[in-house]
Amino acid sequence: MAMVTVFPLSSYGFSHSKRQACLSAPPTSGVRHRLASCRWLNFSSPCGIRRFQNLQSSCSITNTDVDFSHLGTGDESPQDLLADESCCSAPIVHLKPDILDTESLGLLDEGAYVDSLLTVLPVLSAEEQNALAATPAHPAGLYACYASCLAGNLVEQLWNFAWPSAIALLHPSLLPVAVMGFFSKTAIIVGGPVVGKLMDNSPRVPAYISLNVVQAAAQLLSAALIIHAHTFPPPSASSMLLHPWFSALVLAGAVERLSGVALGVAMERDWVVLLAGINRPIALAQANAILNRIDHLCEITGASLFGILLSKYDPVICLKFAAGLMIWSLPIMIGLTWLTNKLSTGVLDRPKSSGGHLDDNDSIVDVGFEAIKLGWKEYMQQPVLPASLAYVLLYFNVVLAPGSLMTAFLTQRGLNPSIIGGFSGLCAFMGVAATFVSANLVKKFGILKAGAVGLIFQASLLAVAVAVYWSGSLSQQSPLIFFLGLIVLSKLGHLSFDVVGAQILQTGIPSSKANLIGTTEISVASLAESVMLGVVIIVNDASHFGFLALLSLLSVVGAACIFCRWLVNPTAEQRSLFSFDREF
């Protein structure tokens, strides 16, 4: 039994005087036929390309298992129908045009139809489009996300300043801090792709909460081990690295850093995009800027707070305060994470992805190795490789920047902890200022030359800082403060390039490979840091700090040379990617 559907097509502009069609299909095939998708539409008109004007009816036969090759209408004579009966195994369906009441269907003529479309789908003005692009898709959820980042980053940045300061008071050299940093970077290089793949195959909210719990547990274990070392100090500083508690501290530190990196990637590459809206560029840019400022403000607050506490109280008391802050902030972060998902109407809920599951036959080592190999291949083939290499080279600068090694170095020189904390806080403040300075640089020089200006500015100031160090006057406090001030100002150039470089990489890397290449870039940057930390392990005495500072300066100069050479000799592909840049 065939189902026949009749519909008028007068508004489509087709006509034929005889309204005769032949629909062909494989024999005895259960297919669904529609006029718009049939394979053959044969008209008996002598000219098939004329515009049709008077077609009044048509039919669609659906859900039939019979073969037919001809469909007749009421305009055809019985003789024509009998002549065609032999080629059609289905009953003949007679349709009379007068059964169609076109006026009762309320169809619009062409002019009225266009007017109706313009009424139903109004065109937004430029101001309205900008307002829509600047409005987050889930504003309430985004604000809860900001609060969660504030709570988590404050504890993390405070701990990043606390542990090297406390360890530096136990050992006279940079060796313990360098060993911990080396193994942390190694964990990121090896474990980063594996953790990323596991997170891609897990629901967002449970995975994020689990990583928060793991990170907090690792921080608490590290704090307890350092408190134990200060309470029962080793008999000799040289034997500290051989104690079991130090091995456990290295392992806990590696887990904490790996969890922190995974949390940062999930928030910056995934969560904020969903909450702000991937099709709302202004809202997304504003969300990225706010997250960047939250991170730097937490770095300022965390370093300054622990530095002031360490200058007034015993290290054990300060570490207990840090541990209490970790315990207090964990339930707040979990609650805010749940609230973020609820306020965003469950946009973060996601079952395991349909593709990319871990194969039961593959071990985690095999999965990680394949992810690393593919990432390296795509990384080396990216069109903006010189810009990425310049970005990676900056990670070789591990001593002329705020970090664990600089904190340990300044602590061993007897500098007041409040001054050390203020130094780290000012460097973080340069990151906030860079979000405004970079915008002005782009307007004045263009995006690519703005990156070059930032690198040259950083290299010039660090060259002066190294010259001040080699002058041998750092034994006095005033030259030491001047030395630190030059490093603080150099961070403005570094972080300006960081902001501009992110946009360069977003422009040059295909969106389908952005996560893979971005994760690999983090691993390469961690590899660069681990190489320098390996050098520090070999040359661990504080008297060799000048040699390490010179290596750091050379890495920054090399980054500036690579980037500027790329600007002078661009390829055709690079010109096409940055054709919007008037200076390229």
Place of tokens 């809920």: 349
pLDDT digits (tens, 9 = 90+) for 400-459: 888 888 888 888 888 888 888 888 888 888 888 887 887 778 778 877 888 899 999 999
pLDDT at residue 490, as a whole number: 94
Query: What residue type is 309 in one-letter code?
Result: L
Average pLDDT, the chain: 75
Class of domain 365-583: mainly alpha
> Which of 193-202, 243-252, 460-469 bottoms out in mean pLDDT, i.e. has the lowest?
193-202
Q: Where are the beta strands (DSSP E) in 133-292?
A: none
The answer to whether 521 touches 392, Cβ cutoff 8 Å, is yes
The arithmetic mean of pLDDT across residues 16-25, rounded, is 39
C-beta neighbour count of 480 within 10 angstroms = 18
Percent of the chain predicted with pLDDT > 90: 26
The answer to whether 442 touches 450, Cβ cutoff 8 Å, is yes
- Kindly report the length of the chain: 584
Residue 16 confidence (pLDDT) above 50: no
165, two tokens: 């300061």
Report CA torsion sign: 513, 514, 515, 517.
Answer: positive
pLDDT at residue 103, as a whole number: 44
- Our measurement of the distance from residue 411's CA atom to the centroid of its chain's CA atoms, rounded to an integer in Å, reads 36
The answer to whether 308 touches 321, Cβ cutoff 8 Å, is no
pLDDT at residue 151, as a whole number: 93
Residue 558 burial by CB count (10 A; 0-12/13-18/19+): exposed, middle or buried?
A: middle
pLDDT digits (tens, 9 = 90+) for 474-497: 778 888 889 999 999 999 999 888
pTM (2 d.p.):
0.65
Residue 213 confidence (pLDDT) above 60: yes
The answer to whether 254 touches 187, Cβ cutoff 8 Å, is yes
The arithmetic mean of pLDDT across residues 538-561, rounded, is 89
The answer to whether 555 touches 397, Cβ cutoff 8 Å, is yes
Residue 523 and residue 336: Cα distance in Å, rounded?
Answer: 30
Q: Which residues contact 490 (CB under 8 A, 6 or more apart)?
A: 400, 457, 458, 461, 462, 465
560, two tokens: 């500036």
Three-state DSSP state, 197: helix
Residues forming CATH 1.20.1250.20 domain(s) in the chain = 133-352, 365-583
Residue 231 confidence (pLDDT) above 60: yes
> Which of 350, 348, 344 shows the shortest CA–CA distance to 142?
344
Query: What residue type is 216 in one-letter code?
Result: A
What are the Cα distances from residue 528, in Å, to 75, 392, 488? 82, 7, 22
CA triple 313-318-320, angle to 5 deg = 135
Q: Which CATH architecture has domain 133-352?
A: Up-down Bundle (1.20)
What are the Cα distances from residue 23, in Å, to 20, 33, 40, 275? 10, 8, 6, 50
pLDDT at residue 516, as a whole number: 67
pLDDT digits (tens, 9 = 90+) for 115-124: 444 445 456 6
> Which of 299, 303, 326, 305 shows the shortest CA–CA distance to 222?
326
Q: Which residues contact 171 (CB under 8 A, 6 or more apart)?
A: 237, 240
503, two tokens: 């946009």
Residue 153 confidence (pLDDT) above 90: yes
> Which of 269, 291, 148, 260 shows the shortest CA–CA distance to 195?
260
Instruction: Tell me which DSSP letter residue 547 carries.
Output: H
